[in-house]
């Protein structure tokens, strides 16, 4: 599974770079969210928090409510995994 996560991280990083280059903000937000999920799966919780926060900002800026709500769910799951139930509840 580690090889799959590494491959997924590489592809998501490429998607982020390309989306930023062409100013495709929806793609940027989804790539950031994906990188956050991958980081959480790898146990890199600080990176996960950073990517999910960046995704939140990007998705909120373009008023993409559905994906923003999905991101809040990811942030809640991350907070829960960090042992912070109050923060998890705040994201729901």
How confident is the model at residue 2, as a pLDDT? 60
Q: Say what the pLDDT of residue 90 is.
A: 87
Dist CA 72 CA 8 (whole Å):
21
Q: Give pLDDT tens digits for 2-42.
A: 689 999 999 999 999 999 999 999 999 999 999 999 999 99
Tokens at 55, concatenated: 């995704």
Superfamily of domain covering 2-91: Tetratricopeptide repeat domain (1.25.40.10)
Domain ranges within the chain, ordered by starting residue: 2-91
Q: Does residue 1 have a pLDDT over 70?
A: no
- ∠ at Cα 10 (37, 25), nearest 5°? 65
What pLDDT shows up at residue 3? 87
> Average pLDDT in the 62-85 region?
94
Distance CA 41, CA 18 (A): 24
């Amino acid at each position: 599974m580690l090889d799959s996560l590494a491959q997924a991280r590489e592809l998501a990083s490429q998607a982020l770079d390309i989306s930023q280059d062409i100013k495709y903000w929806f793609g940027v937000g989804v790539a950031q969210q994906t990188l956050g999920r991958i980081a959480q799966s790898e146990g890199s919780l600080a990176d996960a928090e950073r990517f999910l926060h960046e995704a939140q900002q990007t998705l909120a800026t373009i008023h993409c409510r559905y994906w923003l709500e999905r991101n809040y769910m990811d942030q809640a799951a991350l907070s829960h995994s960090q042992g912070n139930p109050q923060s998890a509840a705040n994201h729901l």
